[in-house]
């Protein structure tokens, strides 16, 4: 039926009698043009879908990189803040050793120290639990001094607290460890 309409349209356009062979030939040409256009359309659809997929992957990758950069910056800031905490900690240890200092000063500094620790914990950091008698782990501890003793690689003092975030060491604990006499 579609061929009949096409034949009639072709006859109307030309206004001169056209042989049926010519009509069939022109129909074949038109059908092949339609097939070429359909193929081009399919190719363009495939390219469009591919481009959309590439865009979505790119967007995901950019979002991931952005999150990673934010985490790196946060970790840098937190490391700097940890230095302040260290100084407060050392000052508290010094005050505890001096019996001449009023209890109020020590109490006030402890409150500030606790508040700073709350900030650190709120950012996802946790204190690495290290105590005297633990074995040194190169992944978790940085040995900054040694003392002579019997059991090698045993921690005798924690000089600086270590911190972890998401199961990773943000900053290793600094410790003094036992070393056998050479």
In angstroms, the CA 43 to CA 141 distance is 59
82, 122, 158 from 140: Cα distances, Å: 16, 22, 12
Residues 99-111 pLDDT 10s: 666 776 777 788 8
Residues 7-19 pLDDT 10s: 566 555 555 666 7
Whole-structure pTM value: 0.49
Domain boundary assignment for the chain: 128-182
DSSP secondary structure letters along 6-32: HHHHHHHHH-S---HHHHHHHHHHHHH
Q: Which CATH architecture has domain 128-182?
A: Roll (2.30)
Give the SS3 label for residue 137: coil
């Amino acid at each position: 039926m579609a061929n009949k309409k096409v034949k009639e349209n072709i006859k109307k356009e030309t206004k001169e009698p056209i042989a049926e062979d010519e009509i069939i030939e022109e129909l074949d040409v038109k059908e092949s043009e339609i097939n070429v256009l359909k193929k081009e359309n399919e190719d363009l659809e495939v390219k469009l879908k591919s481009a959309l997929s590439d865009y979505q992957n790119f967007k995901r990758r950019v979002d991931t990189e952005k999150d990673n950069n934010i985490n790196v910056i946060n970790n840098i800031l937190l490391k700097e803040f940890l230095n302040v905490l260290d100084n407060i900690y050392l000052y508290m240890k010094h005050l505890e050793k001096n019996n001449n200092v009023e209890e109020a000063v020590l109490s006030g500094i402890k409150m500030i120290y606790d508040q700073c620790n709350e900030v650190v914990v709120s950012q996802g950091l946790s204190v690495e639990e290290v105590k005297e008698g633990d074995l040194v782990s190169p992944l978790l501890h940085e040995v900054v001094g040694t003392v002579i003793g019997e059991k090698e690689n045993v921690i005798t003092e924690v000089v600086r607290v270590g911190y972890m975030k998401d199961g990773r060491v943000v900053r290793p604990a600094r410790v003094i460890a036992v070393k056998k006499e050479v």
